[in-house]
Amino acid sequence: MTDPDKTPWLIPSDGFALYDALALLRVSFQFMDGRIDPPSSVHRLTVEGMQAHCYSGGEIWAIGRPLFACMFLTPKSDSLYLGKLAVKEGMRGQGICRTLVDHAAIRAAELGLPALELETRVELAENHRAFSRLGFTIVSTGSHDGYGRPTDFLLRKSINLSADS
């Protein structure tokens, strides 16, 4: 059996793969149910919402056909926001998350953005450790509307924008 192709590809805004990405996200984020408060926004995510993300300048990238990993990218004024990153259970531990983060860094550099940013919930210590290993640093805390305590961490990773990197 050969290794699957791990090259990221852009899901078109009208692509059927949006349905596959949504299904992967729902399954991959289930472990958070009952662990995080408020619940994950993935419960409110729809294909139409994913299309709107694409139409407004965001991108959804995937790995695999059929897909086994995905992430959302959203350009901000000073960073590229990486959200909704998921890797199928049986594919974890093979460097796929690193491949997606590395690809996000390439996209940030192409867009002239000096950093990647992402948010992870306070309760998900395993995510903090994983993203720390990938070069992210916690830079602030945030709270969802109606919460008087921190509910998430903002993590940031600087990107080398020089042409010789």
Q: Is residue 122, in this structure, part of any structural domain at all?
A: yes
Q: Helix, strand, or coil here: 23?
A: helix
Q: By C-alpha distance, which of 118, 92, 89, 100 is closest to 31?
A: 89
Q: Is residue 147, in this structure, part of any structural domain at all?
A: yes
Q: Is residue 62, in this structure, part of any structural domain at all?
A: yes
Q: Is residue 2, in this structure, part of any structural domain at all?
A: no
pTM: 0.93
Q: By C-alpha distance, which of 53, 43, 6 is closest to 15?
A: 53
Instruction: Give the tens place of pLDDT for each residue, 135-158.
Output: 999 999 999 999 999 999 999 999
Q: Is residue 107, in this structure, part of any structural domain at all?
A: yes
Burial status of residue 164 (CB atoms within 10 A of its CB: 0-12, 13-18, 19 or more)? exposed
pLDDT band for 1, please (50, 70, 90 cuts). Answer: low
CATH code assigned at 150: 3.40.630.30
Work out the angle at residue 102's Cα, subtended by the Cα atoms of residues 159 and 111, and round it to the nearest 5 degrees: 50
Structural domain count, the chain: 1
What's residue 160's pLDDT?
86
Instruction: Give the tens place of pLDDT for each residue, 20-73.
Output: 999 999 999 999 999 999 999 999 999 999 999 999 999 999 999 999 999 999
Q: Which domain holds residue 59?
A: 9-158
Q: Is residue 1, in this structure, part of any structural domain at all?
A: no
